[in-house]
Structure 1
Amino acid sequence: MEKRIQHIKEALHDARYKLTPQREVTLRVLLENESDHLSAEDVFMKVKDKYPEIGLATVYRTLELLNELKILDKINFGDGVSRYDLRKEGAEHFHHHLVCINCGSVEEIEEDLLGDVEKIVESDFQFKITDHRLTFHGICRTCTSNVENTDND
């Protein structure tokens, strides 16, 4: 975790920002809960436990700054709630997600599945792609298995 914080600190410095204590505690919460796709309110509640004097506006500003610097991505899984997801270090693109419409679970796909699609779009539409995201909505393995087990009873 310390290595990632150091890299993010350098990215902030390169963009003429400092890693303030408020930004650092927000980053630590994001890193500690990396697989949870937290909303701003979720981040705020977890940060407040560690840094009681922090305000919601400070957390929002920190999340927006980290999003602008492409340290994290703001995502929406169709439920109307913006969530935040740290970019993997060295990742050229945002990773993909599988969202279960039954239980709400979110699974990440780290592989970049759209390389060939990007080439086609760029050549056929003369469209320079700077990033992409892909979210599949469906029924997860666990829910599918539960339905099949119920049908067999």
Structure 2
Amino acid sequence: MADTSYDQIDKLKNILKEKGYKLTPQRRAIVDMILKNQGNHLTTEELYNLVKKECPEIGLATVYRTVLLLEEMGIITKLDLNDGCSRYELVNEDESHHHHHLICTNCGKVIEVEGDLLESLENNIEFKYRFQIKDHSLKFYGLCSECSE
């Protein structure tokens, strides 16, 4: 695992400790799998299936509780792609807003769009409506390159 993953684990360990929790082996396995699958927008069930391969004794309830805990702590965020599933991704502290997503309506692939494309639009909205924007979410639905061939 890359150094940044170890940094993230250490940071998470400190946050858990501050909130009165421990980084148990099960939580560590879940966090490791989230880090390994960064950008894959896993559901809790998908995360469970991946963690179970490396940590066979783990239960689905433990994964659900850990995901909720990590979300409460602001480590991961829920992503609603209108497919009936809650998916999760790591919160990137370097981003002031969520990034944008391209969602294939045929195969379900999710592609992250780099950079904030709405900065000038946000500035116009804030000025025109005297509204202070804290965050936004943008999803484009269509066909990925494989499905459109």
Task: Kindly indicate whether residue 36 of structure 2 is the aligned counterpart of residue 32 of structure 1.
Answer: yes
Are the structure 2 counterparts of residues 124 and 40 from structure 1 closer, same or farther at C-alpha, using a change threshold of 3 Å?
same
Amino acid at match of 1:103: C
**Identity of paired residues, percent?**
46
- Following superposition, the deviation at residue 123 of structure 1 comes to 4.0
Task: Kindly indicate whether residue 101 of structure 2 is the aligned counterpart of residue 97 of structure 1.
Answer: yes
- Could you tell me which runs of 5 or more consecutive residues in structure 1 were left unpaired when the two chains were aligned: 147-153
Are the structure 2 counterparts of residues 126 and 4 from structure 1 closer, same or farther at C-alpha, using a change threshold of 3 Å?
same
Say which structure is richer in helix.
1
The corresponding residue for 1:150 is none
Amino acid at match of 1:61: R
Q: Could you report, residue by residue, the CA deviation over 1:38-76 in whole angstroms, capped at 9, with x for unpaired residues? A: 110111111122222222121111111111222111112
- Could you tell me which runs of 5 or more consecutive residues in structure 2 were left unpaired when the two chains were aligned: none
SS of aligned partner of 1:73 = strand
- Following superposition, the deviation at residue 125 of structure 1 comes to 4.0
Output the CA distance in 1 between the equivalents of 2:127 and 2:19.
33
Corresponding pairs, count: 145
SS of aligned partner of 2:39 = helix
Greater shift, 2-11 or 112-121, is seen at 112-121
Output the CA distance in 1 between the equivalents of 2:125 and 2:114.
21
- Following superposition, the deviation at residue 130 of structure 1 comes to 3.1
SS of aligned partner of 1:129 = coil
The corresponding residue for 1:151 is none
Are the structure 2 counterparts of residues 130 and 136 from structure 1 closer, same or farther at C-alpha, using a change threshold of 3 Å?
same
SS of aligned partner of 1:93 = coil
Are the structure 2 counterparts of residues 63 and 127 from structure 1 closer, same or farther at C-alpha, using a change threshold of 3 Å?
farther
The corresponding residue for 2:57 is 53
Output the CA distance in 2 between the equivalents of 1:75 and 1:7.
23
Which of the residues 71, 74, 85 maps onto 1:67? 71
Are the structure 2 counterparts of residues 70 and 120 from structure 1 closer, same or farther at C-alpha, using a change threshold of 3 Å?
farther
- State the Cα RMSD in Å: 2.0
SS of aligned partner of 2:66 = helix
Which of the residues 124, 130, 137 maps onto 2:141? 137
- Give the greater-gyration-radius structure (CA): 1
Scaled by the length of structure 2, the TM-score of the pair is 0.83
Are the structure 2 counterparts of residues 110 and 12 from structure 1 closer, same or farther at C-alpha, using a change threshold of 3 Å?
farther
Output the CA distance in 2 between the equivalents of 1:97 and 1:36.
12
